[in-house]
Protein backbone atom coordinates (compact mmCIF):
# COMPACT_ATOMS: atom_id res chain seq x y z
CA UNK A 1 0.00 0.00 0.00
CA UNK A 2 1.40 3.37 -1.00
CA UNK A 3 2.02 5.76 1.89
CA UNK A 4 3.18 9.35 1.62
CA UNK A 5 4.93 11.12 4.49
CA UNK A 6 5.90 14.77 4.87
CA UNK A 7 8.45 15.97 7.36
CA UNK A 8 8.45 18.30 9.18
CA UNK A 9 4.78 18.77 10.00
CA UNK A 10 5.41 22.45 10.69
CA UNK A 11 8.21 24.87 9.90
CA UNK A 12 8.83 28.50 10.83
CA UNK A 13 11.55 30.52 9.10
CA UNK A 14 12.53 34.21 8.87
CA UNK A 15 11.81 36.07 5.66
CA UNK A 16 14.49 35.72 2.97
CA UNK A 17 15.65 32.26 4.01
CA UNK A 18 15.90 29.41 1.49
CA UNK A 19 14.09 26.30 2.65
CA UNK A 20 13.41 22.68 1.74
CA UNK A 21 10.25 20.67 2.30
CA UNK A 22 10.46 16.90 2.20
CA UNK A 23 8.13 14.23 0.87
CA UNK A 24 8.73 10.48 0.92
CA UNK A 25 6.71 7.61 -0.51
CA UNK A 26 6.93 3.89 0.10
CA UNK A 27 6.29 2.47 -3.40
CA UNK A 28 8.39 3.72 -6.31
CA UNK A 29 5.79 2.62 -8.88
CA UNK A 30 4.43 6.10 -9.44
CA UNK A 31 3.18 7.85 -12.53
CA UNK A 32 3.93 11.35 -11.29
CA UNK A 33 4.19 13.50 -8.17
CA UNK A 34 2.41 16.79 -7.60
CA UNK A 35 3.07 19.59 -5.09
CA UNK A 36 0.17 21.73 -3.90
CA UNK A 37 -0.27 24.79 -1.75
CA UNK A 38 -3.28 25.26 0.52
CA UNK A 39 -4.14 28.51 2.27
CA UNK A 40 -6.23 28.29 5.47
CA UNK A 41 -9.83 27.33 4.75
CA UNK A 42 -9.23 27.22 1.00
CA UNK A 43 -8.82 24.64 -1.74
CA UNK A 44 -5.58 23.33 -3.19
CA UNK A 45 -3.50 25.17 -5.76
CA UNK A 46 -1.24 23.07 -7.97
CA UNK A 47 2.38 24.27 -7.85
CA UNK A 48 4.45 21.73 -9.75
CA UNK A 49 3.96 18.36 -11.42
CA UNK A 50 6.91 16.02 -11.96
CA UNK A 51 6.50 13.01 -14.22
CA UNK A 52 8.21 9.80 -13.11
CA UNK A 53 10.77 10.14 -15.91
CA UNK A 54 11.80 13.62 -14.78
CA UNK A 55 14.27 14.66 -12.10
CA UNK A 56 13.07 18.18 -11.38
CA UNK A 57 10.69 20.97 -12.29
CA UNK A 58 11.03 24.69 -11.72
CA UNK A 59 8.53 27.52 -11.45
CA UNK A 60 9.78 30.91 -10.35
CA UNK A 61 11.28 30.60 -6.86
CA UNK A 62 10.12 26.99 -6.56
CA UNK A 63 12.11 23.93 -7.54
CA UNK A 64 10.87 20.39 -7.03
CA UNK A 65 13.08 17.34 -7.37
CA UNK A 66 12.20 13.67 -7.63
CA UNK A 67 14.30 10.63 -6.78
CA UNK A 68 11.97 7.77 -7.59
CA UNK A 69 14.37 4.99 -6.61
CA UNK A 70 14.74 6.30 -3.07
CA UNK A 71 11.10 7.36 -2.81
CA UNK A 72 11.79 11.03 -2.17
CA UNK A 73 10.84 14.44 -3.42
CA UNK A 74 11.88 17.86 -2.18
CA UNK A 75 10.34 21.27 -2.72
CA UNK A 76 12.90 24.05 -2.57
CA UNK A 77 11.66 27.59 -1.96
CA UNK A 78 14.20 30.36 -2.59
CA UNK A 79 14.17 33.70 -0.80
CA UNK A 80 11.03 32.94 1.19
CA UNK A 81 8.39 35.65 1.69
CA UNK A 82 5.54 36.03 4.20
CA UNK A 83 3.13 35.36 1.32
CA UNK A 84 4.59 31.84 1.05
CA UNK A 85 3.01 30.99 4.41
CA UNK A 86 0.60 28.10 3.77
CA UNK A 87 0.34 24.33 4.04
CA UNK A 88 2.28 22.47 1.35
CA UNK A 89 1.04 19.05 0.27
CA UNK A 90 2.66 16.46 -1.92
CA UNK A 91 0.72 13.72 -3.67
CA UNK A 92 1.76 10.77 -5.81
CA UNK A 93 -0.21 9.19 -8.58
CA UNK A 94 0.28 5.51 -7.96
CA UNK A 95 0.61 3.16 -10.92
CA UNK A 96 -2.33 0.82 -10.52
CA UNK A 97 -2.23 -0.54 -14.05
CA UNK A 98 -5.65 0.90 -14.79
CA UNK A 99 -6.89 4.11 -16.34
CA UNK A 100 -7.79 5.71 -13.05
CA UNK A 101 -6.08 8.79 -11.79
CA UNK A 102 -6.03 8.52 -8.02
CA UNK A 103 -3.68 10.67 -6.00
CA UNK A 104 -2.36 9.64 -2.61
CA UNK A 105 -1.64 12.61 -0.38
CA UNK A 106 0.76 13.34 2.42
CA UNK A 107 -0.55 15.19 5.48
CA UNK A 108 1.32 18.36 4.64
CA UNK A 109 3.90 20.77 6.04
CA UNK A 110 2.58 23.98 7.59
CA UNK A 111 5.00 26.76 6.67
CA UNK A 112 5.15 30.12 8.45
CA UNK A 113 7.49 32.79 7.07
CA UNK A 114 8.10 35.50 9.65
CA UNK A 115 8.51 39.09 8.41
CA UNK B 1 -7.92 29.55 -17.02
CA UNK B 2 -8.76 26.26 -15.38
CA UNK B 3 -11.77 26.50 -13.12
CA UNK B 4 -13.47 24.19 -10.64
CA UNK B 5 -16.33 25.66 -8.64
CA UNK B 6 -18.24 24.31 -5.67
CA UNK B 7 -21.77 25.38 -4.84
CA UNK B 8 -21.17 26.50 -1.26
CA UNK B 9 -18.17 27.64 0.78
CA UNK B 10 -19.87 26.98 4.10
CA UNK B 11 -22.84 24.75 4.91
CA UNK B 12 -24.54 23.89 8.20
CA UNK B 13 -26.96 20.95 8.32
CA UNK B 14 -28.72 18.89 10.94
CA UNK B 15 -28.23 15.20 11.65
CA UNK B 16 -30.41 13.10 9.37
CA UNK B 17 -30.77 15.70 6.63
CA UNK B 18 -30.04 14.84 3.01
CA UNK B 19 -27.16 17.01 1.77
CA UNK B 20 -26.09 17.78 -1.79
CA UNK B 21 -22.65 19.16 -2.60
CA UNK B 22 -22.23 20.31 -6.19
CA UNK B 23 -19.07 20.66 -8.24
CA UNK B 24 -18.72 22.08 -11.74
CA UNK B 25 -15.64 22.21 -13.97
CA UNK B 26 -15.30 24.11 -17.23
CA UNK B 27 -12.27 22.30 -18.67
CA UNK B 28 -14.02 19.40 -20.41
CA UNK B 29 -12.20 16.98 -18.09
CA UNK B 30 -13.23 13.34 -18.04
CA UNK B 31 -12.21 12.63 -14.44
CA UNK B 32 -13.79 14.17 -11.37
CA UNK B 33 -13.15 13.46 -7.70
CA UNK B 34 -14.55 14.09 -4.24
CA UNK B 35 -12.22 14.20 -1.23
CA UNK B 36 -12.68 15.03 2.39
CA UNK B 37 -9.95 16.65 4.45
CA UNK B 38 -9.64 16.26 8.22
CA UNK B 39 -6.88 17.39 10.58
CA UNK B 40 -4.24 14.71 11.02
CA UNK B 41 -5.77 12.49 8.34
CA UNK B 42 -5.02 14.50 5.23
CA UNK B 43 -7.11 14.20 2.08
CA UNK B 44 -9.02 10.99 1.58
CA UNK B 45 -10.77 9.99 -1.62
CA UNK B 46 -14.52 9.37 -1.28
CA UNK B 47 -15.62 8.70 -4.87
CA UNK B 48 -14.44 9.44 -8.36
CA UNK B 49 -15.88 9.37 -11.84
CA UNK B 50 -14.04 8.85 -15.12
CA UNK B 51 -17.01 9.43 -17.41
CA UNK B 52 -20.62 10.51 -17.42
CA UNK B 53 -22.76 8.09 -15.39
CA UNK B 54 -19.63 6.19 -14.34
CA UNK B 55 -18.44 6.13 -10.74
CA UNK B 56 -16.02 4.23 -8.57
CA UNK B 57 -15.60 4.03 -4.83
CA UNK B 58 -12.58 5.63 -3.30
CA UNK B 59 -11.12 4.84 0.09
CA UNK B 60 -14.01 6.00 2.30
CA UNK B 61 -17.32 5.75 0.37
CA UNK B 62 -19.51 4.71 3.31
CA UNK B 63 -22.33 7.14 3.98
CA UNK B 64 -21.93 8.87 0.61
CA UNK B 65 -23.20 8.52 -2.93
CA UNK B 66 -22.47 10.46 -6.11
CA UNK B 67 -24.14 11.45 -9.34
CA UNK B 68 -22.65 12.41 -12.69
CA UNK B 69 -25.37 13.10 -15.22
CA UNK B 70 -23.35 15.64 -17.21
CA UNK B 71 -19.64 15.74 -17.93
CA UNK B 72 -19.08 19.06 -16.20
CA UNK B 73 -20.99 18.33 -12.98
CA UNK B 74 -20.26 15.89 -10.18
CA UNK B 75 -22.49 15.80 -7.11
CA UNK B 76 -21.75 14.32 -3.70
CA UNK B 77 -24.78 13.20 -1.70
CA UNK B 78 -25.00 12.53 2.01
CA UNK B 79 -28.20 10.48 2.28
CA UNK B 80 -28.54 11.03 6.03
CA UNK B 81 -25.94 13.41 7.41
CA UNK B 82 -24.16 12.49 10.61
CA UNK B 83 -21.88 14.48 12.90
CA UNK B 84 -18.83 12.45 11.83
CA UNK B 85 -19.32 13.82 8.32
CA UNK B 86 -18.42 17.31 9.52
CA UNK B 87 -15.41 18.09 7.36
CA UNK B 88 -13.91 20.09 4.51
CA UNK B 89 -15.02 18.63 1.17
CA UNK B 90 -12.87 19.20 -1.90
CA UNK B 91 -13.75 18.51 -5.50
CA UNK B 92 -11.14 18.05 -8.24
CA UNK B 93 -10.98 17.26 -11.92
CA UNK B 94 -8.35 16.05 -14.36
CA UNK B 95 -7.83 15.09 -17.97
CA UNK B 96 -7.77 11.36 -18.60
CA UNK B 97 -4.43 9.61 -19.06
CA UNK B 98 -5.16 8.32 -22.53
CA UNK B 99 -5.61 11.75 -24.06
CA UNK B 100 -2.87 13.54 -22.17
CA UNK B 101 -0.49 10.88 -20.90
CA UNK B 102 2.16 13.31 -19.75
CA UNK B 103 0.00 15.85 -18.00
CA UNK B 104 -2.78 14.73 -15.75
CA UNK B 105 -2.71 17.34 -13.05
CA UNK B 106 -5.66 17.47 -10.72
CA UNK B 107 -7.25 20.89 -10.33
CA UNK B 108 -9.14 21.61 -7.15
CA UNK B 109 -12.14 23.71 -6.23
CA UNK B 110 -12.20 26.09 -3.24
CA UNK B 111 -13.77 23.55 -0.89
CA UNK B 112 -17.00 23.35 1.11
CA UNK B 113 -16.78 23.44 4.88
CA UNK B 114 -19.70 21.29 6.07
CA UNK B 115 -20.82 21.26 9.68
CA UNK B 116 -23.41 18.70 10.79
CA UNK B 117 -25.09 19.53 14.09
pLDDT at position B46 is: 95
- What is the per-residue pLDDT across A14-67, written as a single tens digit (0 to 9) for each? 999 999 999 999 998 888 899 999 998 889 999 999 988 999 999 999 999 999
Q: Is the pLDDT of residue A98 over 60?
A: no
Q: How far apart are CA B33 and CA A102, in angstroms?
A: 9
Q: How far apart are CA B64 and CA B98, in angstroms?
A: 29
Residues of A in contact with B4 (CB under 8 A): 43
- The confidence band for B102, taking pLDDT boundaries of 50, 70 and 90, is very low
- What is the per-residue pLDDT across B7-21, written as a single tens digit (0 to 9) for each? 999 999 999 999 999
On whether the CB atoms of residues A23 and A88 are closer than 8 A, the answer is no
Nearest residue of A to residue B40 by CA position? A107
Q: How far apart are CA A68 and CA A92, in angstroms?
A: 11
- The confidence band for B101, taking pLDDT boundaries of 50, 70 and 90, is very low
Residues 41-70 of B with CB under 8 A from A: 41-43, 45, 48, 50, 56, 58
Residues of B in contact with A102 (CB under 8 A): 45, 48, 58
β-pairing, A44-51 vs A30-38, is antiparallel
User: What does pLDDT average to over chain B?
Assistant: 90
Nearest residue of A to residue B108 by CA position? A44
Cross-chain Cβ contact A44/B108 below 8 Å = yes
What is the 3-class SS of chain B, one letter each residue?
Answer: CCCEEECCCEEEECCCCCEEEEEEECCCCCEEEEEEEECCCEEEEEEEECCCCCCEECCCCCCCEEEEEECCEEEEEECCCCHHHCEEEEEEEECCCCCCCCCCCCEECCCEEEEEC
* Phi, psi at B83, each rounded to 5°: -60, -30
Interface probe, candidates A101, A103, A110, chain B, greatest B C-beta count within 10 A: A101
pLDDT at position A102 is: 74
Q: How many residue pairs from chains A and B have C-beta atoms closer than 8 A? A: 61
* Phi, psi at A84, each rounded to 5°: -80, -10
Amino acid sequence: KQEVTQIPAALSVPEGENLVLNCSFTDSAIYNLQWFRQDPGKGLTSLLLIQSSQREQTSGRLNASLDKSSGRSTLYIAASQPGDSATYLCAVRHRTGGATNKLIFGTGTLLAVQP
Amino acid sequence: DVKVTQSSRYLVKRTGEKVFLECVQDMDHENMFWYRQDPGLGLRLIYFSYDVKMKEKGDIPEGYSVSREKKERFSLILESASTNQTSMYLCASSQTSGRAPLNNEQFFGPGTRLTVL
